Chain A
Amino acid sequence: MTENHTALYGEHQKAGASFTDFGGWQMPLKYSSELAEHHAVRNAAGLFDLSHMGEVWVTGPDAGAFLDYALAGKLSAVAVGKAKYSLICNADGGIIDDLISYRRGDEKYLVVPNAGNAATVAALLAERAAGFDAVVEDASSETSLIAVQGPNAEAILLTLVPQAQHSLVTELKYYAAVEVGFTVNGTVQDLLLARTGYTGEDGFEIYLPNGGAAALWETLLENGQGQGLIPAGLAARDSLRLEAGMPLYGNELSTSGHAYAAGLGPVVSLAKESDFIGKAALAAIKAAGDGIASGRKLVGLKGVGRRAARGHYPVLKDGAVIGEVTSGQPSPTLGYPVAMAYVDVAHAEPGTMLDVDLRGKAEPFEVVALPFYKRQK
């Protein structure tokens, strides 16, 4: 596999990051302490390089109708300026990726797949576009994505935005996006700003051409210093999203699972009049009750002791295997181990006591409702 570097790789090296491979990309795992980075996002702000994620533009008179066919949600119903979380499924209803789509115009959408799936999703969209008057353009390699997440994120962004445009930022709703002017090194450039994130905190994501990424990164760090902004790596991103109960593709989501078992039933629009890929299979799965009345479903687990469950550990009830952990670690914010796991629906009710096999020793965990952590608004 080729080793991809984002436009910010040099910035991470300068900051002394440790790197990890993620979806074929060399990404910062942490800069100093992943716990400090996690707490910074919860209490102040963290700066993330998410440039490994994909950016696929869909344009044309049929853009909305095409995405209704290609994805599980009803994208044609999304208002211009808003965003929607959706799934791209195969004909069996299996999840190929989870993604966010921004409607940027009547005939214009930006679809953002995960890093490891970006090329697959771009190719699939192009394939599924046959017969529609829509153009699919993969801009992943020339687009950078920088996220500022945490309670101080808005105040930090405002230091770069001309006064006249402050209300665009302060009034931007969650899951909405707008073009805003950012002043970097004395020059104002219009960039796409979205109020989205993967941390459970308020926060923003900025899409921009690779050429301007390093300068924006440095300016944000400099302006955010007084507000507690520090760069944060993928380790913190993973612990933050887990606390927020958000699934990670490859852990909780895969082609062998489906939306209903993953608790993403509402993301699937069976009510959509038009057909979409996976619709018939998903309708049958829902009617059969798999992941609802039978089979396994995704739950949250809270550790009673101090040892954490990790991905792939067996979940037990009275010694019998009834599930498997998909993600788990000690929760930095809550102070106890948290995990997500697929378990038999018979044992999925919050309050149920289960065990996780921690390398040969059964340790008690309680089924709890997701998310583990919800910010105070």
Chain B
Amino acid sequence: MSKVASELKYSAEHEWIAADGAGPSTIGVSAVAADALGDIVYVDLPEAGSTVTAGESCGEIESTKSVSDLYSPVTGEVTEVNAAVVDDPALVNSDPYGAGWLFKVAVDSEGPLLTAPEYAAANGGEL
């Protein structure tokens, strides 16, 4: 069963968000989503300096078998994108909650988020 990291919050669209205190929040996709997509070969991320809106598409994730929209779980300005994951999208599969993070946002407001137990229960993940 796919792992759900207990310290994170999740959107229903399978993005996770880590609130790093006062600084920008880090966003990625859950292991549940990464496992369902298969081997990820391409990520299209929002540009640093652009604004993302909670619940709206801000990029896409492409695996060998399918392509999915990436939805921002929060509204705010993108402060940084993970260049390593653009170069090596397989990081999303191998370390979705770590080296496979996608981008950071200076959060103005959050969309509806789930706690890890709520997300795990709804998606058959393992805490």
Asked if residues B38 and A330 are in contact (CB atoms below 8 Å), the reply is no
Binds B, one of A28-36, A266-274, A284-292: A28-36
Asked if residues B38 and A34 are in contact (CB atoms below 8 Å), the reply is yes
Q: Give the total of B residues in contact with A, Cβ under 8 Å.
A: 13
Binds B, one of A170-178, A193-201, A304-312: A304-312
CA distance A38 to B63 in the complex (A): 14
Asked if residues B67 and A332 are in contact (CB atoms below 8 Å), the reply is no
CA distance A310 to B93 in the complex (A): 21
Query: Which partner residue on chain B sits nearest A36 by CB separation?
Result: B39
B-facing mask of A359-374, CB < 8 A → 1, else 0?
Answer: 1000000000000000
Of listed B35, B38, B64, B67, residue having the most chain A CB within 10 A:
B64
Given A306-B42, A307-B42, A330-B42, also A34-B64 (CB < 8 A) = yes
How near does chain A come to B112, taking the closest CB pair, in angstroms?
25
By a CB distance below 8 angstroms, the chain A residues around B60 are 359
B13 sits at the interface (CB 8 A): no
A6 sits at the interface (CB 8 A): no
CA distance A359 to B42 in the complex (A): 15
By a CB distance below 8 angstroms, the chain B residues around A18 are 35
A239 sits at the interface (CB 8 A): yes
By a CB distance below 8 angstroms, the chain B residues around A307 are 42, 44, 62
By a CB distance below 8 angstroms, the chain B residues around A329 are 64-65
B41 sits at the interface (CB 8 A): yes
CA distance A171 to B16 in the complex (A): 56
Given A30-B38, A33-B39, A306-B42, also A330-B67 (CB < 8 A) = no
Please list the 6 inter-chain residue pairs (A to B) with the smallest Cβ-Cβ separation, ordered nearest first.
Answer: A35-B39, A330-B41, A306-B42, A33-B39, A329-B64, A34-B38
B residues sitting closer than 8 Å to A (CB atoms) are 35, 38-39, 41-42, 44, 60, 62, 64-67, 93
Can you name 6 A-B residue pairings with CB atoms under 8 Å? A35-B64, A38-B64, A307-B62, A308-B62, A330-B42, A330-B64
